[in-house]
């Protein structure tokens, strides 16, 4: 799973013998393991949890439990004690207008576009982009199969192209 940069640190989800979120602090050049708030980390299967930016900034993750998306946020108290806070729960079947009678498989997270804080979400109905902070979504592909995707957000060259010429690269499609 790709890393997510929040502030001056990179974060990766760890699954297996050591479950949690691995933090690499660029300033301190240090590694730390952040435990997950769920009691049963066996729920951390492929495609139902993704480290991302939290609403309002900071470290967070989205956790899919069936058709519910739980948005978690890491917060630090005034005494410097860090803990997890469940921020919001979104009913995906209602947000995406899914017909649950036809949904025999649970949704899966396929990827995360960091710049716009958008999750790529697979359902039997198709693949959606979901921006949880604003509760915006868009169906981007009809697909009954799920694969790993790597969201590409865009390229922009400030001077209009390589070498400043009129035929250089321009801004491309942005999610």
- Per run of 10 residues, the mean pLDDT along the chain (length 175 residues) is 87 81 95 82 67 89 89 91 91 77 74 82 84 87 64 58 52 51
Which of 70, 59, 72, 73 has its CA nearest to residue 10? 59
Q: What is the pLDDT of residue 133?
A: 86
> To the nearest 10°, the Cα dihedral for 15, 70, 112, 122?
90
Question: In the prediction, which pLDDT does 139 show?
Answer: 86
Provide the pLDDT for residue 103.
60
CA angle 91, 96, 100 (to 5 degrees): 70
Q: Are strands 136-141 and 59-65 parallel, antiparallel or unpaired?
A: unpaired
Per-residue model confidence (pLDDT) at position 107: 85
Q: What is the pLDDT of residue 140?
A: 86
Are the C-beta atoms of 92 and 69 separated by less than 8 Å? yes
Q: What is the pLDDT of residue 74?
A: 94
Strand 108-113 to strand 118-123: parallel, antiparallel, or no bridges (unpaired)? Answer: antiparallel
The pLDDT of residue 158 is 59
Contact present, 50 and 72 (Cβ < 8 Å) = no
pLDDT at 151: 59
């Amino acid at each position: 799973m790709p890393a997510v940069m929040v502030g001056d640190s990179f974060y990766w989800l760890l699954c297996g013998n050591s479950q949690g979120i691995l933090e690499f602090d660029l300033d301190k050049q240090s590694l730390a393991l952040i435990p997950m708030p769920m009691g049963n980390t066996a729920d951390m299967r492929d495609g139902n949890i993704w480290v991302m930016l939290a609403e309002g900034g900071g470290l967070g993750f989205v956790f899919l439990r069936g058709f519910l998306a739980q948005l978690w946020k890491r917060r630090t108290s005034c005494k410097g004690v860090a803990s997890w806070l469940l921020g919001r729960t979104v009913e995906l079947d209602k947000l995406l207008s899914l017909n649950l009678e036809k949904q025999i498989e649970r949704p899966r997270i396929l990827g995360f576009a960091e710049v716009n804080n958008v999750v790529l979400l697979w359902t039997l109905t198709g693949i959606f982009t979901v921006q949880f902070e604003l509760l915006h979504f868009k169906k981007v592909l009809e697909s009954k199969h799920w694969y790993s995707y790597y969201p590409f957000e865009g390229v922009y060259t400030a001077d209009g192209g390589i070498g400043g010429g009129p035929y250089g690269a321009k801004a491309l499609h942005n999610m």
